Structure 1
Amino acid sequence: MLPALDTARLLIRERTLADLESCLEMDRDPEVTRHIAGPWSDPVAHRQFVQHRITRQYPPGLGYWSIRERADPDRFIGWVLLIPDHGSGPDVEIGWRLVRSAWGRGIASEAARALVKHAFETVGLPRVIADIAAENRASLHVARKLGMQWLGYDTSDGKRYERYRLVRDDLR
């Protein structure tokens, strides 16, 4: 079980199958997934993909958390993740995805900061990485706000991603 990572505005709790339909609905918005490779156009494959991500076992302290606002705790607004890079590591990836109505309000940065704290202080990771589509200006901005440093490019999934890294010792 993953710990709650709540902030002043947000409830950040372990993602469960109860969040499945909300996750699928968010991903059906082509603006939300336009920078991310995935099975978004195939409903069966999409459901299987998200369900697997929710139910699979991750190393201790890693996984997905759903995000809700304290002001409206029943409304799913997105998720954050801390998972082995490309499914097996050794690096650990940090990521975020929000419904469009939550964009531009600092929610991704706030939730990701809580996740960084958990990664370094609780899990004891030495660093986290993020691969972000080069055109995804909003996510690149979040990475920079977290203090992540640009490392170069990665071409996973046939797309060009910018790779960022945040090292625990850089925060001291």
Structure 2
Amino acid sequence: MSELRTERLLLRAWRPSDLAPWAAMNADPEVRRYFPGVLTREQSEASTARFQTDLDERGWGWWALEVRATGEFIGFTGLDPVDEDMPFTGVEAGWRLARSAWGHGYASEAARAALDFGFTTLGLSEILAVTTATNLRSQAVMRRIGMTHDPADDFDDPGVPDGPLRRNVVYRILAGTAVA
């Protein structure tokens, strides 16, 4: 399994000690504001098992995210194949951080490392990112890392009921594009 390092962050395998802070993040309504709801501890535990299985089998996926200076777990960042029920295919970059980690540039720093891995190691020609149309903070990260948005790609998520979370935007970056 690949482990990625940036100046301040470590993208790594999931550890049992990550479960409590991960479950707390997923129970936080503000962290889950752009998702249909919060997750139970059991749902959070199941997600970490899935994430680690993907890392073990593929060597890449949703890595646990740690601050190198302190060893603090702050969320996840990584790459994952787009779900089959989406109206497009490809590999998606994503991130989710604990509120205490917001505003420090960690999402952009970790996402750049994931993009570099995807283009350099995996040889991907394009990476995309998806979020709700109302999630302006994630869209700002997408722009900061060099992704662009084409409104023609926007779609209604078939897995989300009608409402403000259903409309999604897609940002893309091509290999060879300078990662900001």
| TMscore range, shorter length | 0.7 to 0.9
Q: Paired residues, what number?
A: 169
Worse-matched range after superposition: 9-18 or 117-126? 9-18
Distance 2:59 2:80 in 1: 9
Q: Of 167, 170, 178, which aligns to 1:171?
A: 178
Report the counterpart of residue 61 of structure 2 in structure 1.
63
* Percent identity over paired residues: 36
Cα gap change, 1:27 to 1:90, in 2 (>3 Å) = same
Q: CA deviation at 1:127?
A: 0.7
Report the counterpart of residue 31 of structure 2 in structure 1.
32
Q: Is the 8 A contact 1:15 1:64 kept in 2?
A: no
Q: Is the 8 A contact 1:80 1:95 kept in 2?
A: yes
Structure 2 residue ranges without an equivalent (≥5): 161-165
Q: Of 68, 77, 81, which aligns to 1:80?
A: 77
Report the counterpart of residue 117 of structure 1 in structure 2.
116
Report the counterpart of residue 141 of structure 1 in structure 2.
140
Where has structure 1 moved over 6 Å in runs of 4 or more? Answer: none
Q: Secondary structure at the match of 1:25?
A: helix
Report the counterpart of residue 50 of structure 2 in structure 1.
52
Q: For each residue in 1:111-163, what CA deviation from the matched residue of structure 2 results, as whole angstroms up to 9, or x when unmatched?
A: 00011100000111111111111111111000001111113312222211111
Question: By percentage of residues, which structure has more strand?
Answer: 1
TM-score by length of 2: 0.82
Within 5 Å, give how 1:83-94 maps onto structure 2.
83-86=80-83, 90-94=89-93
Report the counterpart of residue 163 of structure 2 in structure 1.
none
Q: CA deviation at 1:49?
A: 3.9
Q: CA deviation at 1:17?
A: 4.6
Q: Secondary structure at the match of 1:79?
A: strand
Q: CA deviation at 1:93?
A: 0.6
Distance 1:57 1:109 in 2: 21
Question: By percentage of residues, which structure has more helix?
Answer: 1
Structure 1 residue ranges without an equivalent (≥5): none
Distance 2:112 2:36 in 1: 25
TM-score by length of 1: 0.86
CA RMSD after TM alignment: 2.4
